[in-house]
Structure 1
Amino acid sequence: MKLTILSTSDTHGFVFPTNYVEKGADMPFGLIRAANTIAEAQRNSTGPVVTIDDGDFLAGSPLAYYVARVHPGNDPFALTNIYNQIHYDVGVLGNHEFDYGTNYLEHAINASDRTIINANLLDRAGRPLMGQRYRIIERDGVRIGIIGLTTKAVVQWKNRADVHDVHYRSAVSVASELVPFLRPLVDVLIISYHGGFERDLETGKLLTSLSTGENEAYQLLQEVPGIDALITGHQHRRIATRLFGVPVTQPGYRGEAVGKITLDLEPTSNQRYTVIGGQAELLDASQSTYDPAILTQSKALDTTVDNWLSEPLATITGDMTFDRAEDARITETAYTEFIQKNSDGNNGC
């Protein structure tokens, strides 16, 4: 039997293949493409399939900003309902899920149809901040455990007025406790970690620029035995490989690719299954056709955002050019006044 694990990460609210710089753009990314890639992989699968979103879906695009800050009611449902068309089995919290505060995030989770798994972001009582630590799914008689972990980068939002009561434990320390606990209960154990690699994948050399505690994936596989597959994200890299014998994926960002891990399972004598092999690959979504369900669900919102971004910011009389940037830092210029006044909501200059 083959178990297929499909994943997205760091889509950042890029539903349509556009950065909204030019109207009618058709760029090689977007959730609407990734969703169709997932659906095609599900149709072509010969065994059970698990779908995972590895985090950073709630903020990062003009559309996500519009829903959070401009759309009437600032209700995340307009965005989360688009993601609901994929029907993920589980979702992990990314660090940018906290961009608009914990209250907004809680509303988004409540509007989402996927189970949130979150083992190392805790409240002051030591309980999962949101969601549950792990989920066990049974598909075709196979018991599949999935643990959700998040990068340390989330603590950058801590103590902001709209982000409160967030406590962090390292991904490695939590996995070292949960993996041995879950291993006897499941046939397959997956970790979905919104974090990346702190070492070179070929040489194992520590990369100083990445060894800030944000990325623990290499150490995770090096020190915690019993993991059958590892989903990663956060770094926006395209990775499909095996590390310490474990298949690993990281599917870029903005929905440009979908991670796919295929595990080969063999039945055992006690009506269980064991993993006897596995492969990792990335399914390129850059040229995939649009998913029809997401197209129906999101087209009106996409048009609204496009029109909103086309509205004039201000009325300008005169010339905003200046010759020397050094002088503009000292002496008032029309250009700097335009930026400063309009950042405060002024509609004229």
Structure 2
Amino acid sequence: MSNTTTLKIIYTSDIHGNAMPILYGTNESADLGLAKYATIVKQIQNENENVLVLDNGDLIQGTPLMTHYVKEHADEENPMVGILNRIGVEAGVIGNHEFNFGKEILLDAINNSSFPWLSANLVNDKGDPYFGKPYITKSFSNNLKVAVVGVTTHYIPNWESPGHITGIEFKDALATLKTWVEYIHKEEKPDILIASYHGGFERDLETGEPTESLTGENQGYAMCQEIEGIDILLTGHQHRILTREINGVLVAQPGNNGKMYGSIDIGLDKSKNDKWQVTSKKAEIISIGEVDADEDILHYMKEIETSTQNWLDQPIGFIDGNMTIEDPFKTRIQKHPFIQFIQDVQIEESGVDISVTALLTNDSKGFNPTVTMRDIVSNYMFPNTLVVLELTGSEIKEALERTAQYFVLNDAGEIIVNPTYVTPKPQHYNYDMWEGINYIINVSQPVGARIENVTYHGQPLKDNENYHVVMNNYRATGGGNYDMFKNKPVIKEIQKDMVELIHAYFDKHKTVKINTKSNFEVRV
């Protein structure tokens, strides 16, 4: 028996429904997705003796493919899971976006899987892991034993619709991981322990300085500093591209949307004490690149992909005027017809006259004169539903001050996007625009004192008066650190998601004539 061996770990994170090597908004080919990754996995498995393939969560939501699957094909095998089954994934981790379509879709995906889904800190009322296993062990050649424990950011209740997470307790990921790492070392005695965490880093990896308010959403840095016995920490959630060693723990994060994957090589030696010792560890983040997609996967995907493309190409309405987005920054500082359209949909559906929305991504292009389903899902990619909250005038002003943090002034005194909304993770979706009230954001004023002249129906907004406001469910639960919305009275919940509501709006108003109301101003 050889005294040396190696282990190769390859893993994905935040695939977000990207199975096929295309961009659905334009249908252009792209170097991303699990079909291409499958080719790489097979090659690595053929060339290496000890290979461990993992997925770190946020797998089943994020593309029109998956939206269409849930709407029309949910009685069939989840295609994302079907691909991972075929490429030999050993374990997956529950991500926060796994809950977006509801618990039934997630449980079906888990039941479809030939591999376990790990999340030690998501527990039932008895304190046991809700989704089954907290960890796995696997033995390789030369009696090499590897353990993988999975945990999920416990911040999910701050974002997700309560009905999607009923019966699940979200325990602190850091404390839970510490407990299970100690247990695994005592009971399993693995040669290598891998923690796979659907979460990211709350501090600068070099200086240790906080990079976000320490809410507990991301705890990767603390895990490396405070937990003994982790050899490798696989991370995700933030969509960052990084490798580093922190306090002796090798960490990695492979971006998002299946554009890259993590590759970790571990060297081991058992010359001393007849026990494997780690002698080297190296991590790389590698682009999927121009490799051909796996033919077996393309064949497996053919039927649902064809159905998805037919669905996307359906014309459903028309725009009279220009509703295309040329500059996302300008769209956020001056009322744009597309934002007006979304506000109008929310107001008509909810029956209230104050609405909140955001331009969800800088990739949004708005609508051309003929609107297809492809246009809708490209602009509104999250399966958000709507909630009407009862808020006081002072709470509305507090929310406006929160959204005003999106802007700062550069050295020339020009308004720009606050860098914290760009790195380490783009969060443009956390800048809100309001309808039904008039207001000014004065960026030259200090944070917390930027909102001026807030009026409702021509009168000053009253701090102690109650107002009904419609917004998406993510924001209504306080998502994006809008804590002023947490636990506020819910007047109405609209269970249809925004894709359905926009479709229904076009059914009612076949041709939408643009009519932009300039109700806010961003200035210095």
Structures share fold, TM-score greater than 0.5: yes
C-alpha change, 1:78 and 1:258, in structure 2 (3 Å) is closer
CA contact (8 A) 2:32 2:259 kept: yes
Aligned match of 2:417: none
- Alpha-carbon offset, residue 300 of structure 1: 2.5
Aligned match of 1:115: 116
Structure 2 counterparts to residues 135-174 of structure 1, below 5 A: 135-140=136-141, 141-156=143-158, 160-174=162-176
**RMSD between superposed Cα atoms in Å:** 2.8
Inter-partner Cα distance in structure 2 for 1:288 and 1:327: 40
C-alpha change, 1:298 and 1:339, in structure 2 (3 Å) is farther
Inter-partner Cα distance in structure 1 for 2:8 and 2:202: 27
Equivalent of 2:19 in 5, 15, 37: 15
Aligned match of 2:298: 295
Q: Percent identity?
A: 32
Structure 2 counterparts to residues 268-283 of structure 1, below 5 A: 271-283=274-286
Equivalent of 2:210 in 197, 206, 212: 206
CA contact (8 A) 2:345 2:502 kept: no
Aligned match of 2:379: none
Inter-partner Cα distance in structure 1 for 2:292 and 2:69: 25
Moved more, 153-162 or 200-209: 153-162
Aligned match of 1:59: 61
Inter-partner Cα distance in structure 1 for 2:287 and 2:343: 42
Aligned match of 1:85: 86
Aligned match of 2:377: none
- Alpha-carbon offset, residue 31 of structure 1: 1.4
Aligned match of 2:103: 102
Equivalent of 2:238 in 212, 235, 239: 235
- Alpha-carbon offset, residue 320 of structure 1: 4.6
Larger RCO (CA within 8 A; separation ≥ 6): 1
TM-superposition CA deviations, 1:74-123 (whole Å, max 9, x none): 54534421232211001100001111111211111000111111101111
Structure 2 counterparts to residues 270-349 of structure 1, below 5 A: 271-314=274-317, 316=318, 319-320=320-321, 336=344, 343=502, 345-346=504-505, 347-349=507-509
- Alpha-carbon offset, residue 175 of structure 1: 1.8
TM-superposition CA deviations, 1:299-346 (whole Å, max 9, x none): 2322221121110113x4x83569xx86989xx999946995753625
- Alpha-carbon offset, residue 135 of structure 1: 0.6
Code of the aligned partner of 1:156: N
CA contact (8 A) 2:22 2:29 kept: yes
Inter-partner Cα distance in structure 2 for 1:164 and 1:106: 13
SS in 1 for 2:167: coil
C-alpha change, 1:18 and 1:183, in structure 2 (3 Å) is same
Inter-partner Cα distance in structure 2 for 1:280 and 1:334: 43
TM-superposition CA deviations, 1:16-44 (whole Å, max 9, x none): 12231223x11121111222222222223
* Unaligned residue ranges in structure 1 (runs of 5+): none
Moved more, 282-291 or 218-227: 282-291
Q: Does 1:267 find its partner at 2:248?
A: no
TM-score calculated relative to the size of structure 2: 0.60
Equivalent of 2:224 in 221, 224, 229: 221
Equivalent of 1:31 in 19, 30, 34: 34
Code of the aligned partner of 2:85: N
Structure (1 or 2) with the larger CA radius of gyration: 2
CA contact (8 A) 1:248 1:261 kept: no
Aligned pairs, number: 340
TM-superposition CA deviations, 1:264-323 (whole Å, max 9, x none): 111256653121221111121132221222111112322221121110113x4x83569x
Inter-partner Cα distance in structure 1 for 2:25 and 2:76: 25
Code of the aligned partner of 2:56: D
Structure ranking higher in strand proportion? 2
CA contact (8 A) 2:100 2:164 kept: no
Code of the aligned partner of 1:172: L
Inter-partner Cα distance in structure 2 for 1:33 and 1:76: 20
SS in 2 for 1:313: strand
- Alpha-carbon offset, residue 162 of structure 1: 3.4
Inter-partner Cα distance in structure 1 for 2:82 and 2:88: 10
* Unaligned residue ranges in structure 2 (runs of 5+): 324-333, 350-500, 510-524
SS in 2 for 1:191: strand
